[in-house]
Amino acid sequence: MLECREITKNYGRKTAVDHVSLKIEPGRIYAMLGPNGSGKTTLMKMAVGLVKPNAGAFYYKGQPIGIESRKEIAYMSTEPYFYAWMTAKDIGKYYEDFFEDFSMKRYRDLLARMELTEDLKAKSLSSGMMAKLKIAVTMARDAKIYLLDEPLNGIDLLARDQIISSVLEAVSSDVALVISSHLVDELEKIVDTAIFMKNSHLVEVCGAEEVRIQQGKSIVDKYREIYGHGGEELC
Amino acid sequence: MLKLMKYELRKTMFSKLVLLCITGVAEIAYLVGVFLKTDKGDQILAFGAIGLMMCMMIGIFYIGIDSLISFHRDLNTKQSYMLFLTPKNSYQVLGAKILENGLSIFLAGVFFAVLIAVDASIGILYIGGVKEFLDLLNQLMISIQININLTPQQILMPFFAVLAGWLMTVVSGDLAIVLSATVFAGKKFSGLVSFLIFLLIDYIASKVLNAVPVVRDLMVQYVMIIGACFIMVIVMYFVTGWIMERKLSV
């Protein structure tokens, strides 16, 4: 469905993503895990064409990513990115104007569930409210792939539950979800595949169930193994 | 493309409304001056007329600058995602910007030309005839050391040539901004280098305009200059779009 082959991105002398190859398949929920600077965000941004790779490429349904892939891939950035003059209503209208798969009804439902109103100005939102708004506008799309970069960052426990339940509603056999987060234990409950990134490399892609059955470990244990003491050897 | 243009217009709407408000104040001053028919009225008329001229010149200049500021923000802040996550390519994004800006500059030009024509007609009607109005206008122009003995056509054609030239300068600014955000991104003095490149592009563009053959008919001459400006705009549009499509990371 979505695939990258030997993709590399350098920022000056620093390599953010180094020869990563990865396949995202439909019907699965992926957790993209790794500490800050491991390359998760850059990899997601390359998947939607916001960042151009120095080598390698991303492909969607066998074709290089571009206009067509952006119609079916919904990306939620960790940073706020709406125009300052926009209200929640303007943001919905903007998405409705540009994305055929956007549902204004679902957007309004999600806003109501997140306890947000349409007259809220983007520039006056707290970080928690902004995170909810980003989730609402992203999940109101009927996309084939959702890439959510740190959707739970800075969110209190109750709001996290709201966000996770909204995200899980999108799950179906032809949809893939990729969620990056530091909150491994939160994601453990919902994901079926974990992607471990470290120092700009892809360390391992493993099924949560497979790790549990074959290795007798949880994703949290695996995370500790990779990033904790001795984890350097895996990279 | 139209939807992109709609949002481009929305982004620069505030500064255009400010320009419209200031123009409104100058227009009211001019009309009050026309209707008062006293010495004090003449002073207010002069204030209004100069205000309108300033609004026209600075306003049209600022519409271009505002577009460059907006483009710079669109490439160098996170709000760039609003544009580059949409299913539109770089040529469409840039094209919408240039078209919206070109139309804004042109419509502002037409707006001020019509406003001046209407104001002149009102002046002629209420001040007591063409001669009296022109005498008054001439006095005003002499007082600010401008002498005009031109027909409307002779004023309008250079005026629209200046608008086309300004659009060309703005598009060369767009190219410099894209170079700064791509080829020179993360390098030392990228802003300075891009500015120097902008000056170089503008110098080359002025050389191209100077190369337009001289013909006897002044109107044809201006049409050729405007055409040359548009060709330069199109060439720079494709070069800028090509760089964005291949190199731009936001």
| pLDDT tens-digit series, residues A166-191 | 888 888 889 999 999 877 887 888 88
Task: Provide ipTM, 2 decimals.
Answer: 0.84
| Mean pLDDT computed over every residue of chain A | 88
- Name the pairing type of β-strands A55-60 and A2-11: antiparallel
Residues of chain B neighbouring A79 (CB-CB closer than 8 A): 78
Q: How confident is the model at residue A234 (pLDDT cuts 50, 70, 90)?
A: very low
Q: How confident is the model at residue A58 (pLDDT cuts 50, 70, 90)?
A: very high
> Which of A69-73, A127-131, B143-147 holds the top average pLDDT?
A69-73
Optimal mutation site among B77, B249, B250, interface A, most CBs of chain A within 10 A:
B249
Q: How confident is the model at residue B150 (pLDDT cuts 50, 70, 90)?
A: low
A194 three-state secondary structure: strand
> Which of A124-128, A198-202, A218-222, B141-145 holds the top average pLDDT?
A198-202
- Residue A135 CB contacts under 8 Å (≥ 6 apart), including other chains: A76, A110, A114, A148, A151, A163, A166, A167
Q: Give residue A33's domain range.
A: 2-234
Interface of A with B in 71-110 (CB under 8 A): 71, 75, 77, 79-85, 94, 97-99
- The predicted pLDDT at position A29 comes to 92
Instruction: Give the least confident one: A42-56, A201-215, B137-151.
Output: B137-151
Q: How confident is the model at residue A71 (pLDDT cuts 50, 70, 90)?
A: very high
Q: How confident is the model at residue B101 (pLDDT cuts 50, 70, 90)?
A: very high
- The predicted pLDDT at position A111 comes to 92
Q: Residue B249: which of A52, A81, A98 has the nearest Cβ?
A: A52
Q: Which of A142, A167, A172, A198 is nearest to A15 (CA)?
A: A198
Dist CA A211 CA A213 (whole Å): 6
Amino acid at A160: R
| Count of domains observed in chain A | 1
CATH code of the domain containing A40: 3.40.50.300
Structure confidence by residue, pLDDT tens digits, A90-116: 999 999 999 999 999 999 999 998 888
